[in-house]
Amino acid sequence: MSASKKILVTGGAGYIGSHTIVELIQNGFEPVIVDDFRNSHRSAIEGLGKITNSTIIVREVDVCDYSALKAVFEEFSFIGIIHFAAYKAVGESVQEPLKYYRNNIVGLINCLEFAQEFGVENFVFSSSCTVYGERKGVSVVTEAEEMQPANAPYGNTKQIGEQIIHDFVQNETGVKILSLRYFNPVGAHKSSLIGELPLGKPNNLFPIVAQTAAGKMKQLIVNGNDYSTKDGTCVRDYVHVSDVADAHVKGIEWLEKQDGTFAEVVNIGTGKGTSILEIIHTFEEISGIKLNWTFGPRREGDIQEIYAGVEKSKKLLNWESGRTVREAVQDAWNWEQQLEND
Ligand code: UD1
C-alpha cells in the first residue's frame, strides 16, 4: 500500500472534519477518518462518498482509547495527522469541565505521542480564536496577540493544547505542528450533501437562524443590542467552512515543505466583521422568509467584536478565504432545506 499520501483525520465525520475530507481527496490525499460518532452522524460518511465518488475509510475509534488508536497507526502509514476530535460547546464545558479536559487533552496527547512513535511529521491541530480570550478594545487580532485567560473550560482546553504543543516541540522529534485558530466557521458544502448537524439543540448562531427560518425553532433571541458596534449587536468573523477545510490542505502542503521540529499558529478567518443583525438580514433576503427574532439580554462571556488578522495565513500558507458571508448563508440555507426534505 502506498504510504505517500495517507492523512489521519480524527473527528473526520464532524462539521469541519467532513468538509476537510472533501478537500483532501480532491487534492490527491488519502484521508483515514477516526471518529466514534459520539458527536457526529454516519450520514456524513455517505455524503462524503457521494461528493468524492470514492470509498471513505473510517475506523470507529475513540481518540482517548490508547490501544485502539495505536492499532490505527499500526494499520496505516501516515504522512500527516489532522486532529479535530474534541468537544466544543462553551456552555456545556462549564457544566462538565472534566469531560472537556479528559476528551480534548487526552485525545491530543495520544495523537502527539503516536506522531512521535510512528514518525508522522506533519500535524495540524484544531485551535480556536477563543484562545485570545477577553481583550480590551482590540477587535482585529493577530497571532502575536497575547492570550488572556479563557472564559470557559472549552477555551482553556485549546489554550492548554497549544501550550502542550509548544512544550512538545522543544525536543527534536521531527514533528512539525500547525495550530489553526478558527474564527466562526459557517455554511455547508455547496452540494448540500454535508453540513453542520448539531446533535440536539444548536448553540451557534447560523444553525439557530437556519432552524428558525425553517420553523424548527420558534424564535431567535439576539443576545444584546447595546454593544459599541455598528448596530449594537456582536460582531464576528464568519468564514465559510469549505474555505476552512481548504486551509487544512494548504497547511499540510506547507508543513510537508518544512524541516525540523516546530510549532506555528495561524488565524483562519476572513478579516471582516459581520454583526448578528447583518446575518439575520442576509438570511431573510436569501430565504425570502421573515425571521421571528427579538432582542434579549447579553450572553454571559460574549466578546463584543472580534475578527481575524489575516496577513499570516496569506503569507505563510498562501491561503485566504475566497467565499463571502452571503455564499455561506446561501449554502447554510440550502443545507437546512435539504434536511427538512429528508
Ligand atoms: C462560540 C464560542 C467559541 C467557539 C465557537 C464554536 C463563546 C463566547 N464562544 O463562538 O469559543 O469556538 O462558538 O462553537 O461562546 N447569538 C445570538 N443568538 C443565538 C446564538 C448566538 O444572538 O441564539 C450570538 C452570540 O451571542 C454571538 C454571535 O451570535 O454574539 C455568534 O455566536 P456563536 O455562533 O455561538 O459563536 P461565538 O460566540 O462567536
Position 341 scores a pLDDT of: 76
Which protein residue's CA is at the shortest distance from atom 31 of ligand 1? 205
Position 199 scores a pLDDT of: 82
Instruction: For residues 132-145, give the mean pLDDT.
Output: 87
Confidence of residue 198 (pLDDT cuts 50, 70, 90): confident
Whole-model pTM: value is 0.97
Question: Letter for the amino acid at 334?
Answer: N
Q: Which one of 157, 223, 293, 300 would you pick to mutate in the ligand 1 pocket, going by the greatest count of ligand atoms within 8 A of its CB?
A: 223
**DSSP conformation class of 217:** S
* 332 Cβ closer than 6 Å to some ligand 1 atom: no
Q: Where are the beta strands (DSSP E) in 207-280?
A: 220-223, 235-236, 238-240, 262-268, 274-275
Distance (angstroms) between ligand 1 centre and the Cα of 61 equals 29
Instruction: For residues 263-285, give the mean pLDDT.
Output: 98
Catalytic residue of the set 15, 87, 154, 227: 154
* 184 Cβ closer than 6 Å to some ligand 1 atom: yes
Say which residues have a Cβ less than 8 Å from residue 278's Cβ, sequence separation at least 6.
Answer: 231, 325
Beta pairing partners, 126: 180
pLDDT in tens, 89-116: 988 999 999 999 999 999 999 999 999 9
Nearest to 288 by CA among 214, 188, 220, 192: 214
- CATH class belonging to 3-186+240-269: alpha beta
What is the residue extent of each domain of the chain? Answer: 3-186+240-269
Alpha-carbon span 131 to 165, nearest angstrom? 14
Position 1 scores a pLDDT of: 45
What is the percent of the chain where pLDDT is above 90?
91
Q: Is 101 a catalytic residue?
A: no
CB atoms within 10 A of CB 219: 11
Residue with the three cell numbers 462539521: 15
